Amino acid sequence: MSMSVDVRSPQAVVTRPGNQPERNVTVGHQPTEVDVLFPLVDEEQWPPYPAESIEGVLLAHDLVEIVGVPWFVTNLSRGDIVRVSHDGIGYVGGVIVSRGGHSTLHVLAATPAELAPVIEALTALGAVVRSGLEPPMLAVDVPERVSLTAVVRILTAAESMTCAFTVASDQHGARSACA
């Protein structure tokens, strides 16, 4: 059985057409934006960082909705609600309480020029693409309304000896609560 919980008061929820609550929109105050630190496993020197900080919105003292697109963390996507703890310095990510329905892909290439047509094609589909880092990388957020199959088709066509991708979090069609 899966269940999701909106931790705001009913008076604070603004609804969209179809009576679906709009996350992070509250009446009377701004949502609190926080960075959540996720430790990374360093078995093969990749990723090249010990931890990743991902943007989120504090929903409760121990719950954060992820609003950033993860660069290295796997099995996490924009819209996921994560249980957090505060270590005295900042928030540290824990278990995923609820899935947001987005999928995340990571793309790595030898040159930015190799990624330019990929960025254009993915953006035209409606995916959110972040680029940066060295070597050239993309972090791709695929909302539920965008076909993951179409995104994978574009990335498969772009694959080469110098361009590769991974599906870091596949939530299309598998939205459920986690605990």
Return the CA Rg of the chain. Answer: 17
Contact 15, 22 (CB under 8 A): yes
> By CB neighbour count within 10 A (0-12 exposed, 13-18 middle, 19+ buried), where does 144 fall?
middle
**Separation of alpha carbons 170 and 34, rounded Å:** 24
**Separation of alpha carbons 101 and 44, rounded Å:** 30
Compute the average pLDDT of residues 106-121: 95
Compute the average pLDDT of residues 80-92: 95
pLDDT tens digits for range 130-176: 998 888 999 999 999 999 999 999 999 999 999 999 999 999 876 44
More confident residue, 3 or 155: 155
pLDDT band with cut points at 50, 70 and 90 for residue 84: very high
**Separation of alpha carbons 165 and 38, rounded Å:** 21
pLDDT band with cut points at 50, 70 and 90 for residue 23: low
pLDDT of 96 above 80: yes
Contact 93, 37 (CB under 8 A): yes
Domains of the chain: 10-98 (no CATH), 103-169 (3.30.70.600)
pLDDT of 14 above 80: no
The 3-class secondary structure across 12-70, one letter per residue, is: HCCECCCCCECCCCCCCCCCEEEEEEEECCCCCCCCCCCEEEEEEEEEECCEEEECCCC
**Separation of alpha carbons 96 and 64, rounded Å:** 10
